Structure 1
Amino acid sequence: MHKEGERLIPINIVDEMKSSYIDYSMSVIVSRALPDVRDGLKPVHRRVLYGMYGLGVFSNRKYLKSARIVGDVLGKYHPHGDSSVYDAMVRMAQPWSLRYPQVDGQGNFGSMDGDPPAAMRYTEARLKKISDEILSELDKETVDFQNNFDDSLQEPTVMPTKIPNLLVNGTSGIAVGMATNMAPHNLSEAIDAICAYIDDKEISIDDLMKHIIAPDFPTGGIIYGYDGVRDAFHTGRGRIVLRAKVNFEESHGRNAIVVTEIPYQVNKAEMIARTAELVKEEKIPGIHEIRDESDRKGLRIVYELKNDAIPNVILNMLYKYTSLQTSFSVNNIALVKGKPKQLNLKDIIRYFVEHRHEVIIRRTEYELKKARERAHILEGFMKVIATQESLDKAIAIIRHSATPQDAKEGLITEFELSEIQAQAILDLRLARLTGMELDKIRAEYEDIMRLIHDLEDILANEPRRYQIIKDELLEVKEKYGDERRTEIDYSGGEMSIEDIIPNETVVLTISHAGYIKRTSLSEYKVQSRGGVGNKAASTRDEDFLEYIVSATNHQYMLFFTEKGRCYWLRVFEIPEGSRTAKGRAIQNLINIEPDDKIKAYIRTNDLKDAEYVKQMSVVMITRNGTIKKTSLEAYSRPRVNGINAIEIRENDQLLGARLTDGDSQIMIATKNGKCIRFPEEKVREVGRGSIGVRGITLEDGDEVVGMIVVTDVDKESVLVVSEKGYGKRTAVEDYRITNRGGKGVITLNITEKTGNLIAIQNVTDEDGLMIINKSGVAIRMGMDEIRVMGRNTQGVRVINLKKGDEIAAIAKVEMDKEVEEEENTSVDSDNPEFKSAPQTGDNAVSNIGNEQELRKIEDEEAEENRRIEDDGSDEE
């Protein structure tokens, strides 16, 4: 029953729920969860900044208790719980949450491990310097104000920010029926993109992306793949894959994976705990121990591996099962004129520039209004105190007036002043009536008139206003711009990070046990033939150098193993080490099987160049003389776990692989000193899965030691070297062209003194030769020191070996003649091709005999060679 006089209005509950829920959802969308496209702030962040602005806690003032700031914001502008304000303020102070923090916190503001901040009564805060740029010119009527919740105060509806805050800090929020998740970006890149937009309003998003390359997260890490970034910039939605920054180290004699940067918004402690669970459940085998070694210098998580674990395999499992790899789903939704809208990169920039343009117009109008008001007063001063006579008259009027109002009216009548001018004269201090002050007033008036003219020009001249926007942005970039923290792994994408990496020539060395490193070519010493070598590399016991490869940083390396598989690496991805460093185990870099060994490499240019990969071929040779030719295109799509390159029969193994252009000639040499020469077209191109065809017919006990590809018959000569230090150069024409599959002809007269043939190489006079002994000594010399001689000879001694030592590898480098004899010479190499063969021995540095003794031995050898050449015979 209802009381007397009450009126009940029946309402349909469905309609009531509908309208109430729509009101609620609109309130959440517009005044809680979504940022404004202009300043990138949600209402709570805007109110925190404005509250701190009102309290005057700027970056150059002392800190203020957080509770005082929160109380002020709550009482004046934000009628919600205190935790909503404090939590927002805490996040604004965390350098791992915001790319450019806006609040400077003092005390415990939480951690990357998800630790909560101290209570607001314990912490203090003030504005960061960058926030001055967000709040600048708030007092110049640059933005609209609105009443606060109880209509007792005014608060800004948007900030007049000079910082493109939505772009650089991003945001995330869940409204009703929609959500937003915007990535942070680098301030310098964002400003460059905005300036490019101002210069050309029709600029395409792809052109903007030349300036703002990708999001830039406060915690660094690596953006893995570029497609998600491209989608996000073009449509406002995209999935960006983020990976931790990882390197491999040795820790307590074990291999270790060391993480130095983790993906954005990952809780470090939770990630480590989850990984430990997975190790316990044996979902990720091979991890011995996990340690968090982070300190105030930076983040460091160490995953120590078991002895038999392959680091690259474990790392891929960590990426797959843990937060070392996460994704950031971009969903650019912001309020545009109070309505939620999905935005692409250009939209965000356009709305920001429009906002800045409006702020500059309003600021200029305000300054013009103030300047005109001041000019009006100065005109009144000059009317009254321009001459002694008028000044005396004004003083007389004031003195003889009964009240200030009478004095004001008297001045207005006498000097034809406005009320404002008359009041300003009444408010003048007596000191301003001196002659010197009058000059100051005149000078000020002239300055003000110049300023008025300038401000009027700004309002009349749109290109000038846009130039002001640019100048102010570039000033902000100068003050607060920094390097990007998040790297981008294009993982075979169209763009590349090659611009950042200098395209230097480097030497790659690979040891028998599979240690690889990249060393600057200038670290090797250039010497004359027969000189004493310098220590080339420190290797483990029973290990020795097996391959030397010259390349430039921007090229690709294809690795071919003896089981016939192919793997890829960019040269700059190979870890750098000094000449004496051991290098990094190759299993840490590519997922090679534990019982497989790298036998050949190919250095290629960009594998994304369709024309290049179609015109080039890969020619492979096995120890038993099988040859196979396949288009480079078959190897142009890198896969993490490698691919099958050639099918290897039992008791055979891949020995070498070379890149050819279709017009070359192939020469294959064997251990017993035989060599065959035939045109490349005799080997037809087959698919990647094929076995190949016969390249040379071997005698019992013989095996192939190497293959060369000759492109310029007249210029190039054939260098062969035997294991006991003998070598010679012979003209290519000395080897007649035969069919593929023949027995070949004698290339080096093999005797007990020379030892077996170990390497064949095509060289010119300009090339240099690098020789590595089994004892680990490296010597470089000019190729012009080895003369061209007949085919059927035993050659000359190219290096004087100590007893028991043998040559392990030879490699070719192009020499820089001007600095050939200098130490630490920088040797440039446009098209170097290196090859070497297996070796054994220790790391001793040999002491090679003097030049005189070497010459005597050579004279005897030359006499013997002439005798052999006279009765030499060919074999087919």
Structure 2
Amino acid sequence: MEADNSRIIPINIEEEMKSSYIDYSMSVIVSRALPDVRDGLKPVHRRVLYGMHDLGLTAGAAYKKSARIVGEVLGKYHPHGDSSVYDTLVRLAQDFSMRYPLVDGQGNFGSIDGDSAAAMRYTEARMTKLAEELLRDLGKETVNTQENFDGSLEEPTVLPAAFPNMLVSGADGIAVGMATKIPPHNLGEAIDATVAYIDNPECSIEDLMAHCPAPDFPTGGIIYGYKGVHDAYHTGRGRVIMRAKMHEEEIRKGRQALVITEIPYQVNKSNELERIAKRVRDDKIEGISDLRDESDRDGMRIVVELKQNAVPDVVKNQIYKHSRLQDTFGVNMVALVNGRPRVLNLKQAIQHYVEHRHEIVVRRTRYDLDKAQARAHTLAGLTRALDNLDAVIAIVRHSPDSDAARENLMRGVYPDTLSDADLEDLGVSLAPPHTRPDRNENALMHRPDEGWMTEEQARAILRLTLNRLTGMEREKIVAEYDDILGEIDRLQTILDSRERRLAIVREELLEVKDRFNDERRTAIDYTGGDIIMEDLIEREHVVVTLTHQGLTKRTSLDVYRAQGRGGVGLKATGRRDDDYIEHLFVTHSHDMLLFFTDHGQCYWLRVFEIPEGSRTAKGRSIRNLIDIAPDDRVRAVLSVSKDDFEDDDFLNSHYVLMATRKGQVKKSVLEAFSRPRTNGIIAISIDEDDQLIEAALTGGDNTVVVGSSGGRAVHFHEDDVRPTGRNTRGVRGITLGDDERMVGMVSVAPDMREALDILAVGANGYGKRTALTEYRTQSRGGKGLITMKTTNRTGPLVALKGVTDDEDLMVITENGIMIRTGVEGISTMGRNTQGVRIINLKSKDAIADITRVVVEEEADGAEETADERAADEDTDPTVAVDTPTNGQSPEA
């Protein structure tokens, strides 16, 4: 038997997929995810409110179970899951989600801590008074309706909305290919902006912003900075920065705390407390000794107790940086305009709402006018009947039935059963149709060309009761007729004048404002912006230390005092038994640090981001500050001023010169290191059995001195090393002997070659200075010249530095002892000598690292001079302080 293919329709699968997906997309956009610009509601919100309206759940009615409301909405209007309807009902009732709740809930409707609402069978709800304003005049044919899902009922396509609900309540939704995120606003401010537009449709967005300056979130908080608000109101898109509201409070004598009373919109309080606690444990946030939530029914109160030496402003900004107590509201004002999604600015949103309200007034007035005209027509018939009462009674009394009575009244004739003699006996006569010259005849409905009254009038007369025929009742009918004609005149005037209609819109908006307006909750910090923590950090010279196990800290330079040569030193850091200082250098608190590791990676960090510690503090792990691999560690650090790091000319005219343990050197342009990444970048390609030991910043025409542990050094021009990309291994700088390694590299600027000495230091505390001029320039890659005669007494060479007479030295030992001594106290000797003792070492101790420091008096003066020049935007105050480049001049 052959198959019947007559009902098989071939289709193109590609075209069918396109068509179906477009249909699905438009359904999501129009019928689910985006609000209507006129009432600010999505279909599910509109149906929930309309369903409650059907149930009579006004603000004064008794509460009804939420399950009853959900059933009403599901059964009549919204054929989707019950959770979508109940979730909508819950959100409309949450005062932390809605700036002005539209549902008055009774029971557990969730909390700002993320607690879910109780099941719908346990909660009850009704509308709020403000929600009633969205449905006001709904029964006056003010909006279009559509059939529900099964065609059995009608539902409104939009609500009349007596206030600009899209701005007041906001919206949040994800459609297909687009999304919307509209912030809530203060009711009074939104209405004031709408009234300002009505008064002057040509007003600018700035004029409207004078009345509605910014969103107003239900949870309060602070809008930090104004650019995002400005962009959102002008373009429909912008990033509004929200902050929690904190204040300092002395909770007990000598102990300060930060008290959080308001948090950003849509932030889960409980989750953020856990996040802050975790950041404290991970040392991302410092200075906090206790954290507790003291919130109750009277309001929110989160107490952040501070340590005694903590700076409240710094802790506050750390909290903002590492938690959602500073959050971003990405405004995207997308709404349906005539059924199509559009991005709207503030003025366009208000304009479309005003046009909607204008149409509501027109349709409501036309509806009232029709009703008034119909009533006037009826009253006209009643007054005519009262003026001819005996005739009407005669007609009705002698008509065989009500239909005949109605017909006789309409034609104004007596029944055939009444002769003229009967009428004369009754003493009645039929007067002509009742008219009065002072009546507005246009208000009366059309009457037949022949006849005494219309069918509607005749039916009204037949419905009259005897008590309405008394004199007083007759006067009431006449008075009502006069009043209704006046009302018709008023309504007609409204329909004839757009200005009058807009005035009504204005009056009704101000009436809503008078009834429901409240104070703004969200403060506005116009001067704010991105967190700039350096504004809270003192501009000063600091000593930064980094231990072998990666503990780092910064300490003010003023902590250390100068000592004579040979002193025993001060305790520089509290160290673990198996740890010792590897890096120590002086820099500026606002500099940018570039960290170079064993594996040839480069990472970034601002100096002030390194935790401050006392002279004996152990410091914090560098791994909590930068994302270093577990098997890697920091080998070199460069300091670059913030201004230079953002200057393209500086970045392209300066280089990073690197040296490895096996004697390799490499040069790369600084610009290649100017784009920080969280996980770092490759700075140099390193062989498996090699390590990076040093990195220096050069100006392009420096000379370089590299030294080996065997006490030899090579002095060559940096031009011998051509610049290469980051992912290269470099070229040979010095030839090493067996068991030798490169121990240092000095980069020397041209103007420092005559004044600079090369400081060589052995592991056992002996050192000396030798003039750079004693090191002739050679080609790189050779064995080099003797720079220090190494013996068992001196130990192997451990450091090679470039110094001048007016500098101090910082010497750090493996046991954590540090001494600061002037360079001028160290003897100047020839290359082939052992040097003198510069620090007394205890048994089993050895020198770990050395750096040079500007003397304290000069540092202060240099800082003042640099600050003055910085005011002229010529230089950065960091120029007076040596950077950790192991001999590079400050100018370089």
TM-score range, shorter chain: 0.5 to 0.7
Q: After the TM superposition, which residues 780-799 of structure 1 pair with which residues of structure 2 at under 5 Å, given as runs? A: none
Pair 1:20-2:56 in alignment:
no
| 1:10 Cα offset (Å) | 2.1
Partner in structure 2 of residue 410 of structure 1: 408
The partner residue of 2:491 within 430, 434, 455 is 455
CA distance in 2, matches of 1:684, 1:455: 72
CA distance in 2, matches of 1:405, 1:166: 55
Whether the 8 Å contact between 1:244 and 1:261 is mirrored in structure 2 is yes
CA distance in 2, matches of 1:235, 1:44: 28
Partner in structure 2 of residue 432 of structure 1: 468
Give the counterpart letter for 2:188 in structure 1. Answer: S
Partner in structure 2 of residue 256 of structure 1: 257
Residues 560-601 of structure 1: per-residue CA shift (max 9 Å, x gap): xxx9999xxxxxxxxxxxxxxxxxxxxxxxx99999xxxxxx
In the alignment, structure 1 segments of 5+ residues that lack a partner are 494-562, 567-590, 596-646, 657-682, 692-876
Whether the 8 Å contact between 1:182 and 1:330 is mirrored in structure 2 is yes
| 1:403 Cα offset (Å) | 2.1
| Helix, strand or coil at the partner of 1:139 | helix
Q: Where do 4+ consecutive residues of structure 1 move more than 3 Å?
A: 1-6, 563-566, 591-595, 647-654, 683-691
CA distance in 1, matches of 2:3, 2:221: 69
CA distance in 2, matches of 1:373, 1:154: 25
Partner in structure 2 of residue 812 of structure 1: none
User: 1:653 and 1:257, CA in 2 relative to 1: closer, same or farther beyond 3 A?
Assistant: farther
Q: After the TM superposition, which residues 818-837 of structure 1 pair with which residues of structure 2 at under 5 Å, given as runs? A: none
Partner in structure 2 of residue 220 of structure 1: 220
Whether the 8 Å contact between 2:226 and 2:528 is mirrored in structure 1 is no
Partner in structure 2 of residue 394 of structure 1: 392
In the alignment, structure 2 segments of 5+ residues that lack a partner are 413-450, 530-586, 591-609, 615-854, 878-892
User: 1:648 and 1:383, CA in 2 relative to 1: closer, same or farther beyond 3 A?
Assistant: farther
Q: After the TM superposition, which residues 60-99 of structure 1 pair with which residues of structure 2 at under 5 Å, given as runs? A: 60-99=60-99
Partner in structure 1 of residue 367 of structure 2: 366
Whether the 8 Å contact between 2:870 and 2:876 is mirrored in structure 1 is no
How many residue pairs match? The answer is 521
Partner in structure 2 of residue 284 of structure 1: 285
TM-score by length of 1: 0.57
Give the counterpart letter for 1:337 in structure 2. Answer: N
| Helix, strand or coil at the partner of 1:131 | helix
Partner in structure 2 of residue 477 of structure 1: 513
CA distance in 2, matches of 1:492, 1:96: 25
User: 1:61 and 1:653, CA in 2 relative to 1: closer, same or farther beyond 3 A?
Assistant: farther
Partner in structure 2 of residue 306 of structure 1: 307
Whether the 8 Å contact between 1:564 and 1:648 is mirrored in structure 2 is no
Partner in structure 2 of residue 176 of structure 1: 176
Whether the 8 Å contact between 1:255 and 1:304 is mirrored in structure 2 is yes
The partner residue of 1:465 within 497, 501, 513 is 501
Residues 470-521 of structure 1: per-residue CA shift (max 9 Å, x gap): 111111111111111100111268xxxxxxxxxxxxxxxxxxxxxxxxxxxx
Q: After the TM superposition, which residues 610-625 of structure 1 pair with which residues of structure 2 at under 5 Å, given as runs? A: none
Partner in structure 2 of residue 208 of structure 1: 208
CA distance in 2, matches of 1:690, 1:141: 72
CA distance in 1, matches of 2:178, 2:856: 58
| 1:685 Cα offset (Å) | 9.3
| Helix, strand or coil at the partner of 1:95 | coil
CA distance in 2, matches of 1:289, 1:15: 63
Partner in structure 2 of residue 851 of structure 1: none
User: 1:451 and 1:307, CA in 2 relative to 1: closer, same or farther beyond 3 A?
Assistant: same
Whichever of the two has the greater Rg, that structure is 2
Give the counterpart letter for 2:174 in structure 1. Answer: I
CA distance in 2, matches of 1:5, 1:404: 67
Partner in structure 2 of residue 109 of structure 1: 109
Partner in structure 1 of residue 850 of structure 2: none
Partner in structure 2 of residue 270 of structure 1: 271
Give the counterpart letter for 2:37 in structure 1. Answer: V
CA distance in 2, matches of 1:62, 1:290: 43
TM-score by length of 2: 0.56
CA distance in 2, matches of 1:11, 1:466: 54
User: 1:4 and 1:432, CA in 2 relative to 1: closer, same or farther beyond 3 A?
Assistant: same
| 1:305 Cα offset (Å) | 2.1
| 1:196 Cα offset (Å) | 1.0
Partner in structure 2 of residue 826 of structure 1: none
| Helix, strand or coil at the partner of 1:209 | helix
CA distance in 2, matches of 1:315, 1:374: 69
Whether the 8 Å contact between 1:33 and 1:174 is mirrored in structure 2 is yes
| 1:2 Cα offset (Å) | 8.5
| Helix, strand or coil at the partner of 1:37 | coil
| 1:392 Cα offset (Å) | 2.1
Partner in structure 1 of residue 723 of structure 2: none
Give the counterpart letter for 1:242 in structure 2. Answer: M
Give the counterpart letter for 1:80 in structure 2. Answer: H
Whether the 8 Å contact between 1:179 and 1:333 is mirrored in structure 2 is yes
Give the counterpart letter for 1:333 in structure 2. Answer: V
Give the counterpart letter for 1:418 in structure 2. Answer: T
Residues 422-462 of structure 1: per-residue CA shift (max 9 Å, x gap): 11111112211111111000100010011000111111111
| 1:286 Cα offset (Å) | 2.5
Give the counterpart letter for 1:206 in structure 2. Answer: E
Partner in structure 1 of residue 639 of structure 2: none
Whether the 8 Å contact between 1:564 and 1:653 is mirrored in structure 2 is no
CA distance in 2, matches of 1:690, 1:133: 61
The partner residue of 1:486 within 519, 522, 530 is 522
Give the counterpart letter for 2:116 in structure 1. Answer: P
| 1:63 Cα offset (Å) | 0.6
User: 1:392 and 1:684, CA in 2 relative to 1: closer, same or farther beyond 3 A?
Assistant: closer
Partner in structure 2 of residue 744 of structure 1: none
Give the counterpart letter for 2:278 in structure 1. Answer: E
Residues 95-116 of structure 1: per-residue CA shift (max 9 Å, x gap): 1101111000000000001111
| Helix, strand or coil at the partner of 2:485 | helix
Give the counterpart letter for 1:338 in structure 2. Answer: G
Residues 754-808 of structure 1: per-residue CA shift (max 9 Å, x gap): xxxxxxxxxxxxxxxxxxxxxxxxxxxxxxxxxxxxxxxxxxxxxxxxxxxxxxx
User: 1:428 and 1:342, CA in 2 relative to 1: closer, same or farther beyond 3 A?
Assistant: same
Give the counterpart letter for 1:203 in structure 2. Answer: C
CA distance in 1, matches of 2:122, 2:516: 30
| Helix, strand or coil at the partner of 1:417 | coil
User: 1:14 and 1:159, CA in 2 relative to 1: closer, same or farther beyond 3 A?
Assistant: same
User: 1:368 and 1:685, CA in 2 relative to 1: closer, same or farther beyond 3 A?
Assistant: closer
CA distance in 2, matches of 1:441, 1:26: 56
User: 1:400 and 1:99, CA in 2 relative to 1: closer, same or farther beyond 3 A?
Assistant: same
| 1:337 Cα offset (Å) | 0.2
Give the counterpart letter for 1:481 in structure 2. Answer: N
User: 1:240 and 1:405, CA in 2 relative to 1: closer, same or farther beyond 3 A?
Assistant: same
CA distance in 1, matches of 2:310, 2:191: 46
CA distance in 2, matches of 1:369, 1:169: 35
| Helix, strand or coil at the partner of 1:330 | strand
Whether the 8 Å contact between 2:224 and 2:528 is mirrored in structure 1 is no
| 1:344 Cα offset (Å) | 0.2
Partner in structure 1 of residue 427 of structure 2: none
CA RMSD of the aligned region, Å?
3.0
User: 1:686 and 1:469, CA in 2 relative to 1: closer, same or farther beyond 3 A?
Assistant: closer
Give the counterpart letter for 1:325 in structure 2. Answer: Q
| 1:5 Cα offset (Å) | 7.9
Partner in structure 2 of residue 863 of structure 1: none
Give the counterpart letter for 1:367 in structure 2. Answer: D
CA distance in 2, matches of 1:198, 1:393: 56
CA distance in 1, matches of 2:75, 2:279: 49
CA distance in 1, matches of 2:494, 2:332: 37
CA distance in 2, matches of 1:71, 1:332: 32
Residues 320-376 of structure 1: per-residue CA shift (max 9 Å, x gap): 110110000000000000000000000000000000100001111001100000000
